Structure 1
């Protein structure tokens, strides 16, 4: 077969251009660190890398949601901690007002201090989240969720919670009504109260046998069986029970259907006390407003003051425990956020590794391949250079 000089030159040039293109491609991949520069390079790997990038974007969105929830729960936990501390201060002040030597003016001073604490608590309940919202606004509010009305503090927010839009159902707000206005009355099971202002007072009471609880309302009525002999009878929902004209001993508890209460002082004939089921409607502000009003009332006897102190301490303990429970819940949420963040970071690392395996370059192999192509290109150049000298004129010159 006859091979012309023109054909040899064209083949040499074509080989040189091909090797130059291969060297350029290898250099570009080496510079970018990518094996797959476009989908046509490896359609399967390109699709796998694209799925990995989509997963990374989802994990980034989830991470932003986790950060928002963490910031909100951190602010909420701090607010609940402040509320608990203020209630502890109010409790200490109220306990000091039980001093029998206190005058009406001194008790009024204590009431004024508790009023200042109450106003601070309202500010804590209306605390902003720093983004134009309120941490206790529930499902959102354009104004502070708690408003101080003549009849007491009311909730004007929307009940419920706002949660982040992610795979992890984490909250951005807490239900303010549930947090601040829904503590259990009494000791959490039943509440005790005097039905008239006599010369005796009743304590918070305690449960002695949960299985015997009936959920009924009981009334303890005192009468005089004989001069100096006090007796009491107990009614259950207005109906007489087996406890009828039982001798009263102030050193012993009065027990009925799994409950026990102590009545101190000297009850008179006609004095009555009630034991009713606890209800989840005690508010932080109601507990303080009640003791403030009673401490400011002048000319009250020691019995009435003692009853105020005992009932007030009981109610403050109840709302404080309720806030503490909410704080514990926010702590659990922060722990869940930390756990979710670990899972998100693991998923992000997995997707990054998947993307890298699909499209990134093996640098050792790439460098070797580049050197081989560079050697091939140099060989092609030398071949082309030799082909240029293969002409009749070169032979004529000699």
Structure 2
């Protein structure tokens, strides 16, 4: 069959063009390093690569979250360790001043040192990381602890919230990395022991003559109490004392959360009150130096009420915790109150244990974040390896293929040159 020259030319041209495209394609694989450069190259693998990249982006964000959480925990732990050191120094000072050997100048010097410790703890309680307050809960833009007087504070209030700061560490999980300042610098519990477990009170029965009063001492069971629990324990102690040596009175001792006050009164009931008068002895009582009254927010003066069912109310804003302990210690030093110093030792010991627990909690959280960070790194490496298998060029194989394609292209050029090497002289021979 006779083949026209134009047909040979067209076929040769197409063959050379195809070989050239194959060479260019292999060369592009090597230069770009990607075997999927557009969706049409491999639609299935391209979609898998897109999904892997999305997952890796999410993992990268989680790693940044974990890094932020680690930074917060590191700052929190460092601040709390320094606060613990200040609490320990305050306790050491209280012990040294309570031995009866300190003179008035020593006591005043100690009070000035405690004032410095109060300011130091306040500064640490308002620690910031990257411009954010780490002890404000989720109100990290608000300074959490504010003093009534920056130069000479006598009270400190917390204005953060009770929701600790969290970071997302997994698709369906987050983790607390911040602290609500109240749980560290304030306390929901009080330790009652031999230094603060007594309450002197007076009963005057109904119809008794002036001066016919009974002075009693309530002995509160030693334990760690919440405010509600302390109210109940004091009530039980007063009723035991009254039953043994008094009028056998039923008392009502309660904690008002809204007003932050304790109340003491004779229990209301259908029967007439047994007492005309009930009072608490803080100044004149034999056990004023071991009184639980300070933990209930009562003033140091004796107080009483008539009729007895009118409650005795403690001061507003009963606070337990580091700042309160330091204020009480400063006051005891300024007034040479040896009993107050002994109570401060007990209080500061409880504060030490409370903040030590928070330091341990920060360490546990930091360990968990480290484990999470290791897991996220491993997942990122695994996903990147899978993406690379699908998307990246096998350079060694691609170079080998390129050489083969180049050889084929050069062979096509050579054979075409021979086939199409025609001229009029060939027909004249």
Give the TM bin, normalised by the shorter chain: 0.7 to 0.9
More displaced, 150-159 or 327-336? 150-159
Preserved contact between residue 136 and residue 176 of structure 1 (Cα < 8 Å): yes
Q: Which has the higher contact order (CA 8 A, sep 6+)?
A: 1
Task: Give the equivalent residue in structure 2 for 1:379.
Answer: 411
Q: What is aligned with 1:367?
A: 399
Q: In the alignment, is residue 11 of structure 1 matched against residue 49 of structure 2?
A: no
- CA distance in 2 between partners of 1:68 and 1:48 (Å): 30
1:8–1:188: structure 2 CA closer, same or farther, 3 Å change rule? farther
1:84 maps to 84
| Secondary structure class of the residue paired with 1:217 | helix
Instruction: Give 1:289-368 correspondences, 5 Å limit.
Output: 289-297=327-335, 304-305=337-338, 307-368=339-400
Contact 2:195–2:343 (Cα < 8 Å) also in 1: no
Q: Separation in 2 of the partners of 1:189 and 1:103?
A: 26
Superposed, 1:92-241 pairs within 5 Å as: 92-129=92-129, 131-149=130-148, 152-167=155-170, 168-182=173-187, 184-187=189-192, 192-193=197-198, 195=200, 216-218=232-234, 236-240=237-241
What is the match of residue 271 of structure 1? Answer: 286
Please say if 1:44 is aligned against 2:44: yes
- For residue 275 of structure 1, report the CA deviation from its aligned partner: 6.3
RMSD over equivalenced CA pairs, Å: 3.2
TM-score scaled by length of structure 2:
0.72
TM-superposed CA distance for 1:190, in Å, is 11
- Label 1:95 to 1:204 Cα distance change in 2 as closer, same or farther (>3 A): farther
Contact 1:186–1:192, Cα closer than 8 Å, also in 2: no
User: 2: CA distance between counterparts of 1:60 and 1:93?
Assistant: 50
From the superposition, tell whether residues 19 and 160 of structure 1 become closer, same or farther in structure 2 (CA, over 3 Å). same
Cα distance in 1 for partners of 2:394, 2:141 equals 56
Please report the TM-score for the alignment, with normalisation by the length of structure 1.
Answer: 0.77
Structure 1 stretches of at least 4 aligned residues deviating more than 6 Å after TM superposition: 202-205, 241-245
Q: How far apart, CA to CA, are the structure 1 residues paired with 2:192 and 2:55?
A: 51
User: Quick one: distance in 2 between partners of 1:189 and 1:163?
Assistant: 41
CA distance in 1, matches of 2:199, 2:18: 103
- Are positions 1:33 and 2:33 aligned together? yes
Contact preservation (8 Å) 1:79, 1:124: yes
Tell me the secondary structure at the aligned position of residue 285 of structure 1: helix
Deviation of 1:193 after TM superposition, in Å, equals 4.7
Cα pair 1:94 1:309 within 8 Å, conserved: yes
Q: Distance in 1 between matches of 2:221 and 2:112?
A: 29
Secondary structure of the corresponding residue to residue 86 of structure 1: helix
Distance across 2 between alignment mates of 1:286 and 1:57 = 48
Partner residue, 1:222: none
**Cα distance in 1 between the residues matched to 2:346 and 2:220:** 7
What is the alpha-carbon distance in structure 1 between the residues aligned to residue 372 and residue 97 of structure 2? 48
| CA spacing shift, 1:24–1:388, aligned 2, 3 Å | same
Query: Using the alignment, how far apart are the partners of 2:194 and 2:11 within structure 1?
Result: 99
